[in-house]
Amino acid sequence: MLAATHCTVFHQYKSHEAKPKIDTNVIEINLNCLRSTSSLATGDPNFCKRCEALLNASSVLTRSDTGLKWVCEFCFYENQLNIDEEEVPKVLELTYYLEGPQTSKGSEHRPEGNSGDTSSVVFCVDVSGSMACSKQVQGIFQLRTRKNQVNKGNFTYVTRLECVQAAVESQLKSISESTPNKKVGLVSFSSYVEIIGDGHNKEKIPHNALKDFGQSIAFIQERTGAFLTEPISATRDRLSDILMGLNASGGTALGPALLSSIMMAGEGGPGSKVVICTDGLANEGIGSLSGNADQDGFYNEVASIAQGMGVSVSVITIEGAECRLESLALVTETTGGSIVKVAPETLTTEFANIMSDDVIATQVSVQVFLNQAVRFDTENPEHLSLNESRMNKFVGNATPSSSFSFHYAIKNDEEIAALGIVKENIKSIPFQALFRFQSLDGKKCMRAITKSSPVSFNKEEVQQEVDVEILARAGRRKAVQLAEEGKLEEAKQNADMWTNLLKEEAKDEHQAVKFLEFQNDVQELAQNIDVQLKKEEAQGMNAEGLTEEEKAKRKKNYGDSLIVGMSKIKKKK
């Protein structure tokens, strides 16, 4: 097991009891490592000619007449190497620069090693009629709006829009103080979409373009550079005044507003961000979800555009009505953003949480290698190769909270014998993760991390080394994975099995706290699943006997609470 500060944690725990299967052999990967420093490789990477694993500091090299020989520790292939001694890796974690900075919008103005100060943020604000709904909240809210506040005793009546205005204004202040060179823009939407930008040059998208994807793209591209011209240090007061002058009326043209926000934010280069704040269903223009329309094609295309630009998209929805978040979740998940549903009075806190989760790398892909004696367990077969011992996963944008778990298992005796391996002689298992990504300053890089995990077939011995925190995160993610696949009943069953296991393994106070966190999370997930099951029952759906294809389509009918709950668990550290 690696320390929590490292990028990957390899944990080995064997369960041989004849119970429903729980995958407790876990590899955990946290992409926060991509912004940390590591040793820079001095030579070119050397890959195994069979499995494409990377030569590393733990590889065993022997001299031959033709040079160095490396028997790959993952697939056992004998590689002949023609390299100098100084090119042999000396540490287990290395970074390789594959290409120099790539030219992209905004990259010519981005200093090398830049922390994101010159990237862009666009706040996309719903000003439809429902945003005028008011709510009584405790306390005296000092809102700098042009409307008269209604105070009664220790309570204030505030509209949803006023809460959004207060939250965005708070972020304008914070950004201007912490990153004054960052460019910040606004987009407002109701039945129309107004691109406000930094307030210097406002323009409404023509009505015909609101309903046509190609025309919307063309309208925005023709005005590239027109809406974000100055840093927040120069535009804060102007933006704040415009923000406070917004009024609520009309419908919800969320689709074209989302598209224009992404295109504008992308001008700031990789690491830029869009935050959408809405309380209702997209019901006008492209991406309209009214009448149960299926708009996955539109939202997948928008997600692809954002991902290609290195822009993350987050959505804050306000409690009140269903927003069909399963479509917006396609965008947030693809781009590394978040999706939350909150009470109006907690918006400021949620904005701060989302703003702190910055994109740290783009175009991220992960390749994980296991020794041939081991296979990935319960992973998507489309991602696996080399007899299920190699896995490829495309991530896209990575943030500090981007992390995931993989489950693995020792192959059966027959498979191991065919490899010429005596299972009892296996003392440790090597793992390797290769991260290919583009840094925020445009470099194409590869980070390589190689570790090994000792193997024990003694359950009591292994139980003394159990990391409940790692297993709890893996258990949460597994339950969410099953729910995302439409296997709601299996998700609940799996969560129950993990709960029983972790309750048994939590031995000290710290582990007990982590177990209780896990229990609370999966109980909330189970409650949301129960609500969904009752909804399906009321709609006449018979969950028994569903095919895998039918289960996969089930997610389109998920309620907002279940979508938000799954997203929260996936982001939890």
What are the domain boundaries of the chain? Answer: 1-100+360-458, 117-355, 466-573
H-helix or E-strand containing 438? strand 428-438
- pLDDT reported for residue 15: 41
Angle subtended at Cα 308 by Cα 304 and Cα 314, rounded to the nearest 5 degrees: 65
The tokens for 92 are 């287990």
Q: Write the CATH number of the domain with boundaries 1-100+360-458.
A: 2.60.40
SS3 state at 393: strand
Contact 205, 193 (CB under 8 A): yes
Angle subtended at Cα 417 by Cα 413 and Cα 423, rounded to the nearest 5 degrees: 60
Positive or negative CA dihedral for 139, 142, 145, 148?
A: positive
CA atoms of 217 and 204, how far apart (whole Å): 14
**CATH architecture assignment, domain 117-355:** 3-Layer(aba) Sandwich (3.40)
Contact 405, 11 (CB under 8 A): no
- pLDDT reported for residue 350: 86
Low-confidence ranges of the chain (pLDDT < 50): 1-19, 104-116, 146, 148
- pLDDT reported for residue 347: 86
Q: Please choose, from the candidates 175, 169, 183, 138, the residue with its C-alpha nearest in 3D space to the C-alpha of residue 156.
A: 138
CA atoms of 222 and 231, how far apart (whole Å): 22
Length of the chain: 573
CA atoms of 414 and 556, how far apart (whole Å): 42
Fold agreement (1-100+360-458, 117-355): no
CA atoms of 478 and 338, how far apart (whole Å): 19
User: What residue type is 287 in one-letter code?
Assistant: G
Q: Please choose, from the candidates 309, 290, 402, 409, the residue with its C-alpha nearest in 3D space to the C-alpha of residue 362.
A: 309
CA distances from 478 to 176, 491, 492, 533 (A): 40, 8, 10, 19
- pLDDT reported for residue 285: 94
The tokens for 444 are 């194409």
H-helix or E-strand containing 186? strand 183-189
- pLDDT reported for residue 141: 57
- pLDDT reported for residue 314: 96
For the chain, how are helix, strand and coil distributed in percent, rounded to 5?
40, 25, 40
